[in-house]
């Protein structure tokens, strides 16, 4: 089956973003998080001589769009990669009173800066949150933001990984226990979608059916929701109220283009 190098000459890749791209809740062998971007880099490196493909991941959990634009985008201008992925703005959209139109304008400004420094730019839409507690109330804002993302891609010649239409991640098993970050299998599904968005024909299908799962009773679902709120939701809300971020004092896990 043909690989990506037959259609695009990519030998370097830089990933930008927040916890989604850092790879939270997809533990690697070295104790660091792995994630969809690392998985995508591995797919892109296949078929190349060992060490020829270089990869950097500058994403840091909790980062807002303006922080990504200030801290990470200038590094792309220095590194000049063949490919850059930018998935950002989700943390901004989650904030009360945020305006998806205004966030999208700032996102496009970042994309315009990247277009001069990278051969190919891939961006991501947001996930469909219709079945996610609390976040389902933000579904309209996310849909509006997604419409802007597609327009930004059209105007700037970007590739798009459409996470909203990825039906396989509607399964609970695509998400970790905190319901905010993907599980390892969820990260793999997104990596496959990103690869296909770039033109790679993967043997695995990002929409492959999940195995049959046990159906929870209403009582079990309530117990799970209460436990989730206690362990994950309340601490998350508390950090927001205190103005804290999970990314405080966290550095990028792979700040330079290094061979895989």
What is the SS3 string spanning 114-180?
HHCCCCEEEEECCCCCCCCCCHHHHHHHHHHHHHHHHHHHHHHCCEEECHHHCHHHHCHHHECCCCC
163-219 pLDDT, tens digit each: 999 999 999 999 998 888 999 999 999 999 999 999 998 999 999 999 987 777 888
User: Domains, the chain, ranges and CATH?
Assistant: 4-259 (3.40.50.1110)
What per-residue confidence (pLDDT) applies to 8? Answer: 63
pTM of the entire predicted model: 0.90
pLDDT at 5: 44
Does the pLDDT at position 15 exceed 50?
yes
Q: Which phi and psi angles does 154 have, rounded to 5°? A: -60, -45
Between CA 119 and CA 128 the distance in angstroms is: 29
What mean pLDDT comes out for the span 251-257? 95
Q: How high is the pLDDT of residue 10? A: 92
Using the predicted structure, report yes or no on whether residue 226 has a pLDDT greater than 80.
no
Lowest mean pLDDT, pick from 39-43, 125-129, 149-153, 239-243: 239-243
pLDDT value at position 247?
66
Question: What is the pLDDT of the chain when averaged over all its residues?
Answer: 90
Helix (H) or strand (E) holding 84: strand 83-87
């Amino acid at each position: 089956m043909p690989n990506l190098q037959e259609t695009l000459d990519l030998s370097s890749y830089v990933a930008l973003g927040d916890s989604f791209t850092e790879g939270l809740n997809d533990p690697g062998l070295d104790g660091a998080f792995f994630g969809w971007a690392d998985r995508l880099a591995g797919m892109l490196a296949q078929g190349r001589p060992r060490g020829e493909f270089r990869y950097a991941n500058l994403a840091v959990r909790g980062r807002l769009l303006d922080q990504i634009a200030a801290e990470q985008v200038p590094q792309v201008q220095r590194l000049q990669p063949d490919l850059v992925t930018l998935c950002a703005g989700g943390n901004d959209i989650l904030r009360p009173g945020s305006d998806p139109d205004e966030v999208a304008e700032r996102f496009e400004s970042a994309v315009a800066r990247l277009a001069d420094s990278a051969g190919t730019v891939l961006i991501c839409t947001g996930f469909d949150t219709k079945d996610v507690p609390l976040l389902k109330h933000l579904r309209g804002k996310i849909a509006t933001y997604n419409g802007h993302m597609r327009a930004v891609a059209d105007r700037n010649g970007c590739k798009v990984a459409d996470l909203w239409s990825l039906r396989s991640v509607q399964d609970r098993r695509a998400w970790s226990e905190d319901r905010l970050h993907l599980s390892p299998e969820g990260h793999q599904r997104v990596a496959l979608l990103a690869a296909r968005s770039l033109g790679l024909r993967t043997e695995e299908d990002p929409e492959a059916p999940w195995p049959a799962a046990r159906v929870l009773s209403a009582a079990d679902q309530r117990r799970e929701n209460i436990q989730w709120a206690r362990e994950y939701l309340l601490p998350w809300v508390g950090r927001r109220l205190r103005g804290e971020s999970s990314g405080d004092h966290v550095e990028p896990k792979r700040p330079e283009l290094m061979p895989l």
